[in-house]
Structure 1
Amino acid sequence: MGMSTAAMRYLLAIYELSHEGGPVRSVDIARELGVSPASVVHMLGVLSGEGLVSKRHYGRVQLTDRGIWSANQLYTKCTLLETFLLEELCVEPETAQRDAVACLCALSEESVEQIVCRVLETPVILRASGE
């Protein structure tokens, strides 16, 4: 996806707070992520520049269609990573939820896909290098 770790965390938080697309207040994003309002303003500028969110000055933030699609992709992978941590590794639920986000942000796309395929019990198709 080519997105920074911070952008992924913000996109996931907005998606969850918005109940998959509704408007969200910046203060709620800051509270959810434990960051300053200034950090939220900065990241919303980045996400807006990428076409993932729209925000009016002093207004609520809303995911664009592209933002909803991207956030849903991240959310789905995060949920499957959480399932892996819960079912395969017997991690406590709160820890699994937190660690799933951390894994999504830290692991390569290949590793995430391997875990997702394992959770879904889908055969993994190995790609030739260079694809």
Structure 2
Amino acid sequence: MELGAGGVVFNGRKEVLLLRDRMGFWVFPKGHPEPGESLEAAAVREVWEEAGIRAEILLLLFPTRYVNPKGVEREVHWFLMRGEGEPRLEPGMTGAGWFSPEEARGLLSFPEDLRLLEVALERLPL
């Protein structure tokens, strides 16, 4: 099992950031810490690298086990983040954008991500 970091990113209007990966799945950003990097820093870095969004950590949601589309099991530490700006696309990404919570629910591809969204919406700061 690999260790990963990720999170749900909201903007100032409380819209959700989603990315469409190479396989066509809409997902929240996820990734691996680099050597010596904290999970919090890894989550913020990945959002910047994948979507060009400057994010800040608001709170820790929960750690969970996640199996990615390639079948790799990860222990993912989820964070609730806030970010601003228009998402940009990196090579390999086919879509990125801010969506209302209602739209996001309809786009999510993995049950783990839908559960994470529901928990995050309950804990979203006012």
TM-score, normalised via structure 1 length: 0.26
Query: Rg bigger for which structure?
Result: 1
Structure with greater strand share of residues: 2
Of Structure 1 and Structure 2, the greater helix share is in: 1
